A and B are shown apart, each in its own frame.
Chain A
Amino acid sequence: MNNFPILSFLTFLPVLGMLIVLFLPKKEVQAIRITTLIVTGLQIVFSIILVMGYNYSAGGINDANSFQFKEFFNWISISDFAGIGKIKIDYFLGVDGLSTPLVLLTAIVTFIATLSSWNIDKSVKGYFLMFLLLDTGMMGTFVALDFFLFYIFWELMLLPMYFLIGIWGGPRREYAAIKFFLYTLFGSIFILLVMIGLYFSSMETLADGTRVFTFNLLELMNTANYTETGILSPLNPNNLRLVAYIALFVGFAIKIPMFPFHTWLPDAHVEAPTAISVILAGVLLKMGTYGILRIAYPIFPEITYQLAWWIALFGMINIIYGALAAMAQKDFKKLIAYSSVSHMGFVMLGMSALNTMGISGAILQMFNHGTITAMLFLIVGVIYDRAHTRDLEAFGGLGKQMPIYTGFVTIAFFAAIGLPGLSGFISEALVFLGGFGSGTTRILAVVSTLGILLGAAYMLWTMQRVYLGSLNEKWKDLTDLTGREYAMLVPLTIIVIYLGVNPSPMLNLMNASVNAMVKFIADAQVFYSSINTL
């Protein structure tokens, strides 16, 4: 098993699926769906194999040796290119405790989304081609350890997402798709600029002793590699690291989405088909916070320290602002979209604490929000498929008409509220314990607890408007869940309950890396302050 390139396999399996789908005739819609289902199912199998072979004591983060399932070879190597020296881009994959949970999450959510895509009937072939391409982009983003490679995967997701919303979306799909595309692209430009800046500020020493510019993320984290004059080098007294950090942060923050860059999200969600909303909220939003943790934190640890309070502040704004905006919604899906804004705020609050509990809580919250919010969007999908409306005022009393469905709704809603016994509670509690534990973010964490109350308020209000009260006669023909809907909701429910009762499997996966991260940032802080005093 040791030499099997499992990460490449996970990443490019969907491309293989694309090839098969490409050769299937257009009319064979069932075959196309089943191919996709098999591909995503295999991804789950292989990500479970990945977890089974995972070494729980290896930290990763900045240490190349403790990354697991590594794959490394020179991808692009041009010697002496146009006078700027050797260009070297590596095909470098690997996972640690930060990415493994997200690989698992991607596999699960994509599989569920495939099931949810079953009722897409408009150019099915094109849809699943795009869907599989998106899958590759997502997997690749989480396993890439070379900045350039990461950026390619990051951008690779944009295109299929644009078409998936723009062609298979709702009435205002074009507006939403363009808004999503341009907004994310706008962020990508910042990331690109910082990437290039970093490239020219750091040199990696190769085995033969030559020093070359590098995109290798782990080399970029090594302070010994910085050049004296690089624009983003801490050794350069006039460096632009603070500006670069903010630019990089904004690039990632658009994806989270962080206030005030969040307005693409409600539009994209409302227009996207259910399956795409599930992927968008379940996986794509995590890329923002993942990017910050993977790239911004370890490459700019001293700026992270410096700006921790601001990250927490924006986390707090997301939590409270998102919750209040959710409360004002009349469209079910938009409400869930704003609730995502609020819940991603917990991730930011947790990671700003820069301590074990906070960062553990943040990563766990990424995973938990992925599963819970996937459930919430599926729930909206179930009702929209039947009633063809998402107007919260149009319903009432569905609990009587669709009791089993309402049972799942109750679990998902209370998970979103952070009820103990369900997974959301553990991550939120860790985020608050971490946030309160850090002197920098303490007050912001206390204010953020208001989010728990507001979350309960809008969720229970929704519960009441849609499911409780007397049944609107218009809906007396709605049927309860179908087999396919069970297949989507039951696995997620099991995960949500299991991780609520026993979070250890997930936390053990992360612990070594979280601690490595906390230690690395603390150590780096010491190092950077020594530079500043020189």
Chain B
Amino acid sequence: MTESVLINISLAILFLPLFGFVVTLLLGKKVKSIYLFEVFILTIVLISAIVLAFGKLSYFIDHKIVSEIEWFRLTDTIVIKLGFLIDNLTVLMLFVVALISALVHYFSVAYMKGDERYNRYFAYLGIFTFSMNGIVLTNNILMMYIFWELVGLSSYLLIGFWFEKKSAADAGKKAFLVNRIGDLGMFAGILILFLTYNTFSFDTIFQSISAGKIPFNSEFWLTLTGILLFMGAVGKSAQFPLHVWLPDAMEGPTPVSALIHAATMVAAGVYLTVRIFGLLTADAMMFIAVIGMLSAFIPATIALTQNDIKKVLAYSTVSQLGYMVMALGVGAYKFAFFHLVTHAFFKACLFLGSGSVIHAMHHEQDIRNMGGLRKKLPLTYATFLLSSLAISGIPLTSGFLSKDGILASAFAFGSLTGYWIFAVVGFLVALLTAFYMFRLIIITFHGEPRDHHKYDHAHESPFVMAMPLVVLAGLSIFIWYTPNPISADQGWFLTKWIETPELHAPNSTRFDFMQSEVVAETQQVAEHNSSHGEITYSEKYTEAMHSAHYPAMFLSLFVAIAGILTAFVFYQWKKVNVEKLTASIKPLYNFSLNKWYIDEFYHKTFVAGLLGLSKIIYWFDATIVDGIVNGSATVTRAISTFTGAFDKYVVDGLVNFMAYLSGFIGLIFRRIQTGKVQTYIVLVIFSIIILFFFF
């Protein structure tokens, strides 16, 4: 196994789905079963991703493979490159993407059966997988932005797949536009990076930062660059205040929600933040932590009251992504990525499970019309339950490990900096999560069926749909990540697979616990070390994490169980009258049910404002700007009418008058022209006398 083999495998992983997209799209009309080609391609991609991960983790585990080619050049110094960066993060992420994408392909074969644009659906899945793989594989921020936008396109196409439905078309548009708001920030960040470093490559940028070169020689600008780049993540990972597109995106086919809007595309934002982690300053991290915290909390409160099975899962996705982002903000780099991976599996499982339910219930999504489904859909129920345990953070699941890590980090962060708010909100959200997930399970699967007609026709899903559920549920068990079911700290995932992040932002801009300690030693050593970025966290941090471990673990276990029990008390055992309770907190309930009125607020302010502004601008254009043009034409015409009249009546009038006058004079004097010599002689004499008198 050599580096070039790995690079070639990566190339195949990247371009095969594109090939699948083109073939499936072009032949979709003619060849009915062309979708099988796309499914086949994805199987190859999955195998390649496994081989790549295996090869990388066994032969090059401490080695970063970079390969670049020139894309285009303007001068000898302005050369734009494209390239791959294959480190452990890359291969793990590629594996996650390829696996879930392949499973979703299989699942869709049955789920989408009979759709009139069946082949096109698979083509779109192909271009999505291509774009997502591009984000994961790239070594530079421009290429990431390119694939970032392509993911936006695929998401637009897939959300609006059933475009005849206005709500679906609306949702696609909204997703693209809201994402673009974040992308503007990211693009501005890219502009700053290129201006400062004349390159887009992550590595070169990081090296320059370590060497002391920062944008505009100002720490503020470095912070701002980090925040601007993170704006891209706010859009893609549906973070507050740009989270509004994700719940609407549920208009897309359910397998798409599992692939794009739960496991992969929305994780791209976290992946971006992971990639740029090295340049984040303490202020930028604080900003990120706050955004993550709000994004974890607000959707969790909304998920409590939603009745659409997919909407609950969508809000829970935003909330879990908020955890990851908050984790990055508080410096828990490894746990953020760990949670990304575990969440991808169990959330994909939940979404596909909901797809299985929706499929069985003939496109019913309202959980109030469900109930008792565990008897009809035992396998779906079992996998759904396992994944729900994982998301709630119950031991023996993967979710327990990663979530506990994040909570412990937030706890440690509180003890190191005094900002306890992140830990407090973190545990609160854990409580809410456990509650709303089990509310969902109990109403959907437990109790008695509410819609008997649909219940009677419900049936367990076929093998191609069941198999992905089992695989994903299986991956929600701890054993894949660590041998120790209550702590992942010593497991291979955190110690071997994920590298410690390298920090590059100047020491003065970092948190106290993230200082490079070698700085205190001789200058030479400092330079040596900082260029390699070997030291990441101080001893203090390790100690704080250590002492946070057990309290955090017990507390998180406690809140998870409390949440689940409350859900049982409310909905299973019905010890509390839920309706009476909601009636007593009606305003709060409505606030949650209506999603904090955030959509309404945006509509009344930004959307209406923009449309109003465009109307005003167009009025201005048609009335004022064009009015001046037409006005000057009118004025010119008026002047020309006036000159025309002047010419006709005054100038020409004068000419005619002169003619008339001479005629008139002639008329008078013609009397003299008698032709008689006598008269002429008299006139001559008179004239001479007059002349004589005058001169």
* Interfacial residues, chain A to chain B (CB-CB below 8 A): 179, 182-183, 259-260, 262-264, 321, 324-329, 356-357, 360, 397, 399-400, 414, 419-421, 425, 429-430, 432-433, 436-437, 445-446, 449-450, 452-454, 456-457, 460-461, 463-464, 467-471, 502-504, 507, 511, 514-515
Contact A456 B176 (CB under 8 A): yes
Chain B residues whose CB sits within 8 angstroms of the CB of A260 once the complex forms = 625, 628
Contact A420 B160 (CB under 8 A): no
Closest A residue to B181 by beta carbon equals A453
Contact B149 A324 (CB under 8 A): no
A–B pairs, 29, beta carbons within 8 Å: A179-B629, A263-B621, A324-B614, A328-B614, A357-B78, A400-B164, A419-B150, A420-B149, A425-B146, A433-B194, A445-B191, A449-B188, A452-B183, A452-B187, A457-B610, A460-B156, A460-B173, A463-B173, A464-B169, A468-B163, A468-B164, A469-B165, A469-B169, A470-B165, A470-B166, A471-B164, A502-B72, A504-B72, A507-B74
User: Distance in Å from the Cβ of B500 to the closest Cβ of chain A?
Assistant: 32
Closest 8 CB pairs of A and B: A328-B618, A420-B146, A468-B169, A327-B614, A263-B626, A468-B163, A324-B617, A436-B191
Contact B173 A321 (CB under 8 A): no
A263-B625, A325-B617, A399-B163 in contact; A452/B180 too (CB < 8 A)? yes
Contact B177 A456 (CB under 8 A): yes
Closest A residue to B636 by beta carbon equals A182
Bound together, the chains give a CA A519 to CA B60 distance in angstroms of: 47
Bound together, the chains give a CA A259 to CA B166 distance in angstroms of: 36
Bound together, the chains give a CA A456 to CA B176 distance in angstroms of: 8
Main secondary structure on chain B at its contact with chain A?
helix
Residue-wise, chain B 606-644 has the 8 Å CB interface mask toward A (1 for contact) of: 000011011101100100011011000100000000000
Bound together, the chains give a CA A324 to CA B625 distance in angstroms of: 15
Contact A329 B163 (CB under 8 A): no
Closest A residue to B612 by beta carbon equals A328
Closest A residue to B28 by beta carbon equals A403
Chain A residues whose CB sits within 8 angstroms of the CB of B525 once the complex forms = none
- Cβ-neighbour of B195 out of A179, A400, A437, A507 (below 8 A): A437
- Cβ-neighbour of B615 out of A259, A328, A425, A502 (below 8 A): A328
Closest B residue to A458 by beta carbon equals B614
User: Distance in Å from the Cβ of A12 to the closest Cβ of chain B?
Assistant: 35
Bound together, the chains give a CA A325 to CA B629 distance in angstroms of: 17
Bound together, the chains give a CA A452 to CA B164 distance in angstroms of: 27
**B145 located at the interface, meaning its Cβ lies under 8 Å from any Cβ of chain A in the complex:** yes
Contact A357 B169 (CB under 8 A): no
- Cβ-neighbour of B177 out of A420, A457, A511 (below 8 A): A457
Chain B residues whose CB sits within 8 angstroms of the CB of A461 once the complex forms = 173
**B562 located at the interface, meaning its Cβ lies under 8 Å from any Cβ of chain A in the complex:** no
Chain A residues whose CB sits within 8 angstroms of the CB of B625 once the complex forms = 259-260, 262-263
Closest A residue to B628 by beta carbon equals A260
Chain B residues whose CB sits within 8 angstroms of the CB of A420 once the complex forms = 145-147, 149-150
Bound together, the chains give a CA A328 to CA B74 distance in angstroms of: 38
Contact A325 B74 (CB under 8 A): no
- Cβ-neighbour of B184 out of A259, A356, A357, A453 (below 8 A): A453
Contact A453 B180 (CB under 8 A): yes
Chain B residues whose CB sits within 8 angstroms of the CB of A470 once the complex forms = 164-166
Number of A-B pairs, beta carbon distance below 8 Å: 128
* Interfacial residues, chain B to chain A (CB-CB below 8 A): 71-75, 78, 142, 145-147, 149-150, 153, 156, 160, 163-166, 169-170, 173, 176-177, 180-181, 183-184, 187-188, 191-192, 194-195, 610-611, 613-615, 617-618, 621, 625-626, 628-629, 633
Chain A residues whose CB sits within 8 angstroms of the CB of B74 once the complex forms = 356-357, 360, 430, 507, 511, 514-515
Bound together, the chains give a CA A430 to CA B73 distance in angstroms of: 11
Chain B residues whose CB sits within 8 angstroms of the CB of A425 once the complex forms = 146, 149
Bound together, the chains give a CA A243 to CA B17 distance in angstroms of: 58
Closest A residue to B157 by beta carbon equals A410
Bound together, the chains give a CA A143 to CA B611 distance in angstroms of: 43
Contact B150 A421 (CB under 8 A): yes
User: Distance in Å from the Cβ of B68 to the closest Cβ of chain A?
Assistant: 16
Closest B residue to A341 by beta carbon equals B621
Chain A residues whose CB sits within 8 angstroms of the CB of B170 once the complex forms = 464
User: Distance in Å from the Cβ of B232 to the closest Cβ of chain A?
Assistant: 13
Closest B residue to A453 by beta carbon equals B180
Chain A residues whose CB sits within 8 angstroms of the CB of B180 once the complex forms = 452-453, 456
User: Distance in Å from the Cβ of A460 to the closest Cβ of chain B?
Assistant: 5
User: Distance in Å from the Cβ of A187 to the closest Cβ of chain B?
Assistant: 13
Chain B residues whose CB sits within 8 angstroms of the CB of A262 once the complex forms = 625
Chain A residues whose CB sits within 8 angstroms of the CB of B153 once the complex forms = 414, 419
Bound together, the chains give a CA A329 to CA B156 distance in angstroms of: 23
- Cβ-neighbour of A446 out of B142, B188, B611, B626 (below 8 A): B188
User: Distance in Å from the Cβ of A349 to the closest Cβ of chain B?
Assistant: 13
Chain B residues whose CB sits within 8 angstroms of the CB of A429 once the complex forms = 142
Bound together, the chains give a CA A235 to CA B163 distance in angstroms of: 66
Contact A450 B184 (CB under 8 A): yes
Bound together, the chains give a CA A264 to CA B630 distance in angstroms of: 10
Chain B residues whose CB sits within 8 angstroms of the CB of A471 once the complex forms = 164
Bound together, the chains give a CA A121 to CA B610 distance in angstroms of: 43
Interface centre among A325, A420, A445 (most CB of B within 10 A): A420
Contact B615 A183 (CB under 8 A): no
Contact A469 B188 (CB under 8 A): no
User: Distance in Å from the Cβ of B252 to the closest Cβ of chain A?
Assistant: 14
User: Distance in Å from the Cβ of B441 to the closest Cβ of chain A?
Assistant: 36
Chain B residues whose CB sits within 8 angstroms of the CB of A467 once the complex forms = 163
Contact A421 B177 (CB under 8 A): no
User: Distance in Å from the Cβ of B193 to the closest Cβ of chain A?
Assistant: 10
Bound together, the chains give a CA A474 to CA B146 distance in angstroms of: 40
Bound together, the chains give a CA A469 to CA B160 distance in angstroms of: 10
Closest B residue to A500 by beta carbon equals B146
Interface centre among A179, A419, A430 (most CB of B within 10 A): A419
Chain B residues whose CB sits within 8 angstroms of the CB of A179 once the complex forms = 629, 633
- Cβ-neighbour of A449 out of B72, B147, B184, B611 (below 8 A): B184
A397-B164, A464-B173 in contact; A324/B618 too (CB < 8 A)? yes
Bound together, the chains give a CA A450 to CA B75 distance in angstroms of: 29
- Cβ-neighbour of B166 out of A182, A452, A469 (below 8 A): A469
Bound together, the chains give a CA A504 to CA B180 distance in angstroms of: 27
Closest A residue to B166 by beta carbon equals A469
Chain A residues whose CB sits within 8 angstroms of the CB of B192 once the complex forms = 436
Contact B191 A433 (CB under 8 A): yes
User: Distance in Å from the Cβ of B78 to the closest Cβ of chain A?
Assistant: 6
User: Distance in Å from the Cβ of B31 to the closest Cβ of chain A?
Assistant: 16
Chain A residues whose CB sits within 8 angstroms of the CB of B618 once the complex forms = 324-325, 328-329
Contact A325 B163 (CB under 8 A): no
Bound together, the chains give a CA A468 to CA B176 distance in angstroms of: 15
User: Distance in Å from the Cβ of A358 to the closest Cβ of chain B?
Assistant: 10
Contact A264 B187 (CB under 8 A): no
User: Distance in Å from the Cβ of B234 to the closest Cβ of chain A?
Assistant: 14
Bound together, the chains give a CA A164 to CA B195 distance in angstroms of: 47
Bound together, the chains give a CA A420 to CA B625 distance in angstroms of: 35
Bound together, the chains give a CA A101 to CA B639 distance in angstroms of: 45
User: Distance in Å from the Cβ of B524 to the closest Cβ of chain A?
Assistant: 36
A324-B613, A456-B180, A460-B176 in contact; A469/B164 too (CB < 8 A)? yes
